[in-house]
Structure 1
Amino acid sequence: MNRLIFFSVLFYAAFHTGDCITGGQEAKAHSRPYMASVQWNGKHECGGFLISSQWVMSAAHCFQDGRTSGVKVVLGAHSLSGAEDTKQTFDAEVYNHPDFSISNYDNDIALIKLDKPVTQSDAVKPVKFQRDETADPKEAAVVETAGWGSLNNMGGRPDKLHELSIPVMERWRCGRADFYGEKFTSNMLCAADKRKDTCDGDSGGPLLYRGIVVGITSNGGKKCGSSRKPGLYTIISHYASWIDTTTTK
């Protein structure tokens, strides 16, 4: 392939307004003070969100294959690489839901205990999460999510936090055989819009409805923004009892 054709293909793949565009925008710095970057060896791998002075919620699939050790949690960040004096870094102990299934990502929820309480500030504050199932968003409700995940299917990740507003999709559609079929369980909801979706690296981040976290970014298709593999989110209200039991250990 000559260089002109190569760069033309590269440009098209990165910027064409098709399935490869995730469609978010940079968030205002520290406007989401609950956001956490879950890292290994100084590298961002998953998101999370602060729910109390010493606990962060995230996704269980982030910690498979023995990845519960060596975890660092960074709070108060907007730029992952920048030397921001708002940042607080913690060692952590991970508690995955005991019934998490790697085969379909059911029960994809984890709790992370920080090694010490946070110092609350304008850049580091906990967020409320939904306990009442009757208050969960219905179909077509607009929800918000945020993260440092890939901007496209080529794996390009932003240095600064991005955010996105998307509608909740119909349950019957997400359960169709050409969508997720039987892998779509009652513990999940799906949400996406044309060219708008979460992507690799956003896992564990929050899905908010009216300022309250109702879901955890879980899984999707191999291509971000794919019309038949919208983002999947764990419904937090289904786990209130497990959350309370775990965080009082």
Structure 2
Amino acid sequence: MMGSKGEMLAVAAVCIFALISQSEGILGGNEAAAHSRPYMASIQRFDGEARTHECGGFLVGNQWVMTAVHCFPHGTDNRKVVLGMHSVTETEDTQQVFEIMELHSNPNYRAENFDNDIALIKLDRPVNITNAVQVVKFLRSGGTNPTTNEQVDTAGWGASDNLGSRPDKLKEVTVEVVNPMLCRRSDYFGTRYTSNMICAHHVYDKPGSRRQGKMDTCDGDSGGPLLFKGVVVGIVSNGGIKCGQMRKPGIYTIVSHYTEWLDGIMGPQPTAPPQ
């Protein structure tokens, strides 16, 4: 009887492992080369010496970080911006930590569907440009956004599964733009999906399995950049309640729709030095 129970427990353990290994999020993504994305920002909650990564962002000016409005549901209390970070837990002399001087949330943001989910953070001082901290270009009004099936890429320190597992090192993933007509279908996002959004994921067949998996962004990646040919075209915003659902691709705010608003806040920005 004990042997039978042991066998049942073993089978249960295998089933649980299978479920975990099938979990989706930035599953299938890879660890980025250290500081290969020097524009990445980590928005963290500080509690004494303890630090917790909450959202991503990216450096767009010598004192400005772009991110998502929904990363600040209760304001900026105890939050700081960390640049030059690769590892969440390791001490790195490349890191620069900034207080948040100003938070500018887009006034048309709608919490019910994450429309206009774009925000700017003004840091308390200009950054020190290094190999690990550099400005990234973003698409402006009149620029060309990626279309259906074109590849885009993103990165973050967000969850790698729906159990909340977080990577220590920055991960990156390449995804594909999904047809907006599909994302507007009622079994996808319906009327929640607007013209200010791009949806993207990457569906793949798991070797030796009839199931499919999906590369996607997940909890904690919000606010990070979506890049097309090295230029930021979107901001990680929202998808489904769970990461990696087949009919809930990641949703990204289209940055080029906000050029006038961004310029009105930041003003003219110095050109980023060559990398």
User: Could you say which TM-score interval applies, normalised by the shorter chain?
Assistant: over 0.9
Structure 1 pair 99–149 and aligned structure 2 pair: CA distance change class (3 A): same
* Bigger Rg, which one: 2
Q: Please say which of residues 229-238 and 94-103 is displaced more in the overlay.
A: 94-103
The correspondence for 1:14, drawn from 17, 20, 26, is: 20
The correspondence for 1:32, drawn from 20, 33, 37, is: 37
Shift of 1:6: 5.1
Cα distance in 2, alignment partners of residues 216 and 49 from structure 1: 9
Please name the residue that 1:205 is paired with: 224
- 1:165 and 2:174 are equivalent in the alignment: yes
Structure 1 pair 21–211 and aligned structure 2 pair: CA distance change class (3 A): closer
TM-score, normalisation: structure 1: 0.95
Residues 166, 196 of structure 1: 8 Å contact kept: yes
In structure 1, give the amino acid aligned to 2:139. Answer: Q
The C-alpha deviation readout for 1:12-49, integer Å capped at 9, x for no partner, is 22212x65663211000000000000011210000000
Cα distance in 1, alignment partners of residues 161 and 27 from structure 2: 6
Shift of 1:165: 0.4
Please name the residue that 1:61 is paired with: 70
Cα distance in 2, alignment partners of residues 111 and 159 from structure 1: 26
Shift of 1:70: 2.1
The correspondence for 1:98, drawn from 94, 97, 107, is: 107
Residues 133, 238 of structure 1: 8 Å contact kept: no
Q: How many percent of aligned residue pairs carry the same amino acid?
A: 51
Structure 1 pair 10–67 and aligned structure 2 pair: CA distance change class (3 A): farther
In structure 1, give the amino acid aligned to 2:237. Answer: S
Cα distance in 2, alignment partners of residues 166 and 21 from structure 1: 10
Instruction: State the 4+ residue runs in structure 1 displaced beyond 4 angstroms.
Output: 18-21
Please name the residue that 1:4 is paired with: 10
Cα distance in 1, alignment partners of residues 12 and 134 from structure 2: 46
Cα distance in 1, alignment partners of residues 226 and 145 from structure 2: 11
Number of positions where the alignment pairs a residue of Structure 1 with one of Structure 2: 247
Cα distance in 2, alignment partners of residues 221 and 198 from structure 1: 11
Residues 79, 99 of structure 2: 8 Å contact kept: yes
Cα distance in 1, alignment partners of residues 265 and 141 from structure 2: 18
In structure 2, give the amino acid aligned to 1:10. Answer: I
Shift of 1:68: 2.2
Shift of 1:11: 1.3
The correspondence for 2:155, drawn from 135, 146, 154, is: 146
- 1:218 and 2:237 are equivalent in the alignment: yes
Extract unaligned runs of 5+ from structure 2: 204-213, 269-275
Please name the residue that 2:261 is paired with: 242
- 1:231 and 2:231 are equivalent in the alignment: no
